[in-house]
Amino acid sequence: MRGRPNLYTRYSSEMGLFPTTTKKVSIALLGVIAVLLPLAALPFAGYLASSSWLILINRALVFTIAALGLNLLSGVAGQISLGHSFFMAVGAYTAVFLGSEAGSATWGLGLPMWVWLPAAGIVAAVVGILVAPMGVRVRGLYLAFATLGLVFIGLYLWLNLNKITGTPGIGRRWPPLELTLWRGMDPIISFATNGPLWWWLRPVNLLPWVQIDEMTGAAKTYFFVGVLVVLFAIVAKNLMRTRVGRSWAAIRDRDIAAEVMGVNEYKGKTQAFAISSFYAGVGGALFGSVVGQLIPQSWDLLLAVDFIAIVLIGGAGTVAGTLMGTFFVVLIPRAVENATNFLAVQAQDGGALSWLGNLVIRTSPDDPVGIISLGAAGPGLSIFQFNIMLFGVLIIVFLIVEPLGLYGIWVRVRNYWKGWPFSY
């Protein structure tokens, strides 16, 4: 069907991963950009690769894995969960127990990554299966409260199981991302430290004008986590468009009608909780490992709300939306911080935007107006608190104005240009 990209003659072609040529081309382009991004091979990306932005991008990628899980559970299967940070913590602490070396006051087995990373997902999935019967019995808003309870009970556990979670207030170091055969051996590939590419890859000329001698640890982490994100995204997409995902969507839309049609509600919800928790567990383990050290209080309600925000801001029930949502949610605080610092400098030096800086930022306690205050003292929100507030505002604005999220905006923009200049 040449020239008729939206005409599908077979169901399988409509359900294809990349049904149109445009999609194939744009995904391929995105892939090329994603590979070149941390290598300082693109003129603009050099900035990203050298700066701490790449670390944030890594965090966004890790969050994407966990957020995909929540999107499967809440967006596709319709089970409201405020307890995603609990399942992430289960995975993360499985990883730290299996992967880290034992300390004087902590337990640890020091096993290699190929053990602790899958185990993190599996243990979280088992916990998910244990919680699933509650999802069958307790419905709707009551389930939201039950999962909220999980977060608080979880926090109590993490604060008290100090042998695994480390000292309160200090936390514990997560095992680094490195591929070793068994405990005590030298790593084959270390994704966490700077060095030559891989052990078999010598310095290469990727493009005529760039030569890559070595990669930073952040760049290696980026590639490793990036590959995982692609794998998990494909699995999620395939789940959504096959029997399992369709049964979840049926349960979401009307559970009794789904049962009447022969969908096993108990089985469907258990699958949804298990798979969602698997994603959360792997995401949590990677989060710990990428950040390095986390205090037990990190797995709190705010983290769970982060993920709900990611799903809602990105677009519920879509993989592409989840990716957009995580990058938006993870990168916005940093952008706000940079903008604040920029405006503060402008306000002090009297640049072109000094009026805006004067209006928004308090540089000293005597400054009469301003929302954000620099430094701990003085009235006005700190940047951290401003970000939390902005976050709340974004959730509210997106829900009121654009319930389909960033994905909805993207679809509208795309449709506008599809029909351009005959858009109406």
Q: Which residues bind another protein (CB under 8 A)?
A: 80, 134, 137-142, 144-146, 148-149, 152-153, 155-156, 159-160, 254-257, 260, 297, 302, 305, 308-309, 312, 379-382, 385-386, 388-389, 391-396, 399-400, 403
Q: Which of residues 256 and 352 has its CB atom nearest to another protein in the complex? A: 256
CB of 354 vs another protein, minimal distance in Å: 25
Q: Which is nearer to another protein, 181 or 369 (CB)?
A: 369
Contact between 103 and 74 under an 8 Å Cβ cutoff? The reply is no
Residue whose C-alpha is closest to residue 394's, from 305, 280, 318: 305
- Using the minimum distance from each CB to another protein, give the nearer residue, 289 or 326: 326
Contact 289, 95 (CB under 8 A): yes
Q: Give the closest residue to 147 by CA, choosing from 11, 275, 277.
A: 277
The pairing of strands 361-362 and 372-373 is parallel
Q: How far is the CB of 166 from another protein (least distance, A)?
A: 14
C-alpha–C-alpha distance, residues 258 and 254, integer Å: 6
Shortest spacing between CB 63 and another protein, in angstroms = 17
CA distances 203 to 32, 208, 295, 365, Å, are: 20, 13, 39, 53
User: Is the Cβ of residue 126 or residue 134 nearer to another protein in the bound state?
Assistant: 134
Separation in Å, CA 153 to CA 85, 125, 375: 12, 18, 35
For another protein, the closer of residues 203 and 403 by Cβ is 403
Q: What's the closest the beta carbon of residue 94 comes to another protein, in angstroms?
A: 20
Q: Closest distance between another protein and the C-beta of residue 169, in Å?
A: 10
Please report how close the Cβ of residue 134 comes to another protein at its closest, in angstroms: 6
Q: Count the residues in the chain.
A: 424
Dist CA 231 CA 138 (whole Å): 32
Task: Give 52 or 385: the residue with its C-beta nearer to another protein.
Answer: 385
Nearer to another protein, 336 or 345 (CB): 336
Q: 291: closest CA among 120, 114, 173, 164?
A: 173
Strands 178-179 and 189-190: antiparallel
Work out how close the CB of 307 gets to another protein at its nearest, in angstroms, rounded to a whole number. Answer: 12
Residue 215 or 361 with smaller CB distance to another protein? 361
Cα–Cα distance for residue pair 324/313, rounded to 1 Å: 8
Specify whether the CB–CB gap between 265 and 259 falls below 8 A.
Answer: yes
Burial (Cβ within 10 Å: 0-12, 13-18, ≥19) of residue 98: buried
Cβ at position 86, least distance to another protein in Å: 12
Q: Which is nearer to another protein, 141 or 352 (CB)?
A: 141
Query: Closest CB to another protein among 111 and 155?
Result: 155
Minimum CB separation of residue 289 from another protein in Å reads: 24
Q: How far is the CB of 142 from another protein (least distance, A)?
A: 6
